[in-house]
Structure 1
Amino acid sequence: MSQEILVLGAGMVGVSTALALRHRGHHVVLVDRAAPGTETSYGNAGFIQREAVQPYAFPRDWKTILRVIARRGNDVHYHPGAMLRLLPVLARYWRESAPDRYAGTIAAYAALVRHCVSEHEQWIAAAGAEDLVSKAGWLEAYRSQRAFDDTVRTATMVAREHALDCAVLDGAALQAAEPVLHGGLAGAIHWRDPWTVSDPGELVQRYAALFERQGGIVRRGDAATLQPDGSGWRVMTDAGPLSAAQAVIALGPWASTLTRTLGYRLPLFIKRGYHRHYASARMPSLPLLDAERGFVLAPMRRGLRLTTGAEFAHHDAPPTPVQLAAAERYASDLVDLGAPVEAQPWMGARPCVADMRPVVGRAPRHRGLWFHFGHAHQGFTLGPATARLLAELIDGETPYVDPRPYDPARFG
């Protein structure tokens, strides 16, 4: 039966949710304070990451932990005050990364990731967005031979276990494949299953435009005004108050604030990240992760996008793009970056959950309310896949994957 549904949040996850529900005949209004695809979903490396079957775990060896504490690497940066506040949730993140627990998380994560390309594919075709998409994969590159050899062993094992396609390129093969590189890399894993996108924000916008062509409505509004309204929900928008029988919170890094207001204490936290475009005259043909220096070089429509690793900080703290400054120096070893395109770097936040699994399902204590957030680094990848799962749950169908690992009720 058709229902009226509010979807709060117009990033990849929220727009995918609105599309999936509208496709099933529901009357859907998508609400956000900003235009679709202009917040978190705008600032990423543009990967639809089919090979990402293992979510980012908390390091379990003290050598790595001490390196992070001492800020000796570029993959992680932190604000000390924020780390003190985050200690309880990070302690849980550490526990959930123990080998026995992490094995279950990999199984749950892989169950979704294996559908990421096929679920995107249908919307890419319907939205006419093929011009934004490359199906050639990306490169996971290493500077030291030892790190490269260790990764080759792990990567080939993961590829066999999860039916992934990858190729091992030694230094010479990598240089032949990407002659714009200056050299000095020991080699790379070429992950061939993922798709990459030359403008992630634009892809979200085309999905949103498809949603509107199919009869969906987009409104500017403040998700913080969400409140019960009789047997349904109401939110304030630029068109006045809107009410519906059901509401979906798909607010990414802003989900924590609203869910706490509603009385939920979920183990959520954010990782901030930065990017900047450069007017490089010669860009690599494939996106490249410098795994030992913690950055990605991704050829985009606006130029060569340089993205950073994770920064643990308060969501609203002033930007501290020290990782980006270091990444600029490291990237200059590999390519000629050219001049920055933007006057200032972009900064955004990734919505994370301590057990590394997204939160997808019915809110435990509120009728007609649904949660859809916590995708960490993979909201762009998993948005359509988890949107399908949520739509099936809302419609009372048998879900295409087991929903229990992602159920909000797991937190009590």
Structure 2
Amino acid sequence: MAELKADVLVLGAGMVGVGAALHLQKRGRDVVLVDKHQLAGEETSYGNGGLIESASVFPYMFPRDFGEILRTAMNRAPQVRYAVSDLPAFLPWLVRYYLASAPDRALAGALAVMPLIRSSLIEHEALIAEAGVPELMRKSGWIKMFRSEATLARAVRDFERAKQYGVQGDILDDAAIHEREPHLSGEFAGAVHFTEPGFVLDPGGLAKAYAALFQRKGGRFVVADARTLEQDAGGRWSVATSDGRLSAREAVVALGPWSDLVTGPLGYSLPFNVKRGYHLHLASRGNAVLNHPVLDTDLGYLLAPMNRGIRLTTGVEFARRDAPPTPVQIARALPRAHALFPLGEPVDAKPWMGARPCLPDMLPAIGRAPRHPSLWFDFGHHHHGLTLGPVTGRLLAEMMTGERPFADPAPFAVERFG
């Protein structure tokens, strides 16, 4: 059977992989998008809060407050849960995460990723217009609510700091919260309404719309197992498909939480881990309407008005990527969410579980593989895969095609880990 050929194989059809494929295609490359599913956006890109976080200029770092660390260690923080049996496996990574979260290192990381964060909505808007799906995004921002004066005060300080870097928003008191969200119940110390970010009403659907755009423009989408990736004596990369081997001069690893299954056998030992998360869609009762995504910060869950229903999302679970689901955080959040908003019956048969791919400094790996000049990395986007997929795709495509990168790619090179 004849070998199928292309310029570039992009392994992974989540938001990150599709973003890279589109930008490479735009620069004249013959690109094949490879995924184990028949459709794009079926894994991590499907389950998230739907936020294009152009205001999140500071990454999600390990807490430095002793009380918060103690609550987390005792498994009493609603925002984080861990499986005690898995602690030996991920404790060394947590130590690296803690060290990378030192204030000076965290600030350096924030400054490095800021050009990408601040350009993220611009890149999405361009692709949404080209894909013809403006109905999938609102530009109303999201609301981060606080029940205690202490957590509100810290948030206001953080917001004032973020304003120095161009972040916009409003400080809300309890009355203003209920004015913007009249169907919420309960009393709050206050909130921050981040007014800039976009909100996607169907994240998996947006990835599919971008993949459809890629195919309309001549791109190929092939079902294959990325773990079959091989390099031949001539330096070409190939994967096995039902129609034979598919080969290309270059390959991009954009497999999110499964990226190590390809990079590991090739000799790359990266400090890679996952943060698992869950969501559940529920109907609204009566004529109740939720206008924005709202984060009940102190109780550790978010409600977002998706096309499928109100999506209840949890915080972080530290567990093995492939361990059976343990949706304890969903069970704990459900009564709190029912008290906050008039929720009806679940739309989903069971909670969805996904995994966020993380490196300890909460920066993605973007760039050339050190020992394989024709292999490229585009993974590790932690909580910001939806946000950063198109913009890191642009950065990667500029590097691969010899353009001058719009942002400094050096902080995202895997050589930073030695």
TM-score by length of 2: 0.96
8 Å Cα contact 1:175-1:183 kept in structure 2: no
Q: Residues of 2 paired with 1:8 and 1:238: CA distance?
A: 16
Q: Counterparts of 1:12-411 in structure 2 under 5 Å? A: 12-34=15-37, 35-159=39-163, 161-229=164-232, 230-281=234-285, 282-411=288-417
Q: Any stretches of 5+ residues in structure 1 without a counterpart?
A: none
Deviation of the 1:352 alpha carbon: 0.2
SS at match of 1:123: helix
Q: Residues of 1 paired with 2:360 and 2:183: CA distance?
A: 40
Q: Residues of 1 paired with 2:91 and 2:74: CA distance?
A: 17
Q: In the TM superposition, what whole-angstrom CA distance separates every residue of 1:334-353 from its partner, at most 9, and x where no partner exists? A: 11111000111000000000
Q: Residues of 1 paired with 2:189 and 2:132: CA distance?
A: 39
Q: Structure 2: which amino acid aligns with 1:136?
A: S
8 Å Cα contact 2:369-2:414 kept in structure 1: yes
Deviation of the 1:12 alpha carbon: 0.2
Q: Residues of 2 paired with 1:363 and 1:150: CA distance?
A: 40
Q: Structure 2: which amino acid aligns with 1:44?
A: N
Q: Residues of 1 paired with 2:120 and 2:66: CA distance?
A: 34
8 Å Cα contact 1:13-1:379 kept in structure 2: yes
Please say which of residues 139-148 and 388-397 is displaced more in the overlay: 139-148
Q: In the TM superposition, what whole-angstrom CA distance separates every residue of 1:97-152 from its partner, at most 9, and x where no partner exists? A: 11121110111121210110111111010001100110010100111223223312
Q: Structure 2: which amino acid aligns with 1:364?
A: P
8 Å Cα contact 1:268-1:353 kept in structure 2: yes
Q: Residues of 2 paired with 1:12 and 1:348: CA distance?
A: 14
Q: Structure 1: which amino acid aligns with 2:309?
A: G
Deviation of the 1:231 alpha carbon: 1.6
Q: Residues of 1 paired with 2:196 and 2:109: CA distance?
A: 21
Q: Cα–Cα, structure 1 residues 355 and 146, in superposed 2: closer, same or farther, change >3 Å? A: closer
Please say which of residues 398-407 and 278-287 is displaced more in the overlay: 278-287
8 Å Cα contact 1:7-1:249 kept in structure 2: yes
The ranges of structure 1 where at least 4 consecutive aligned residues each deviate by more than 6 angstroms after the TM superposition are none
Q: In the TM superposition, what whole-angstrom CA distance separates every residue of 1:185-212 from its partner, at most 9, and x where no partner exists? A: 2221110110001000000000000000
| Aligned residues with identical type, % of pairs | 51
Q: In the TM superposition, what whole-angstrom CA distance separates every residue of 1:318-349 from its partner, at most 9, and x where no partner exists? A: 11000011111111121111100011100000
Q: Structure 2: which amino acid aligns with 1:128?
A: G
Q: Residues of 2 paired with 1:359 and 1:83: CA distance?
A: 25
Q: Residues of 2 paired with 1:109 and 1:82: CA distance?
A: 31
Aligned residues: 410
Deviation of the 1:3 alpha carbon: 6.8
TM-score by length of 1: 0.97
Q: In the TM superposition, what whole-angstrom CA distance separates every residue of 1:55-74 from its partner, at most 9, and x where no partner exists? A: 11112233222111111121
Please say which of residues 81-90 and 348-357 is displaced more in the overlay: 81-90
8 Å Cα contact 2:230-2:239 kept in structure 1: yes
8 Å Cα contact 1:168-1:188 kept in structure 2: yes
Q: Residues of 2 paired with 1:239 and 1:295: CA distance?
A: 45
RMSD: 1.2
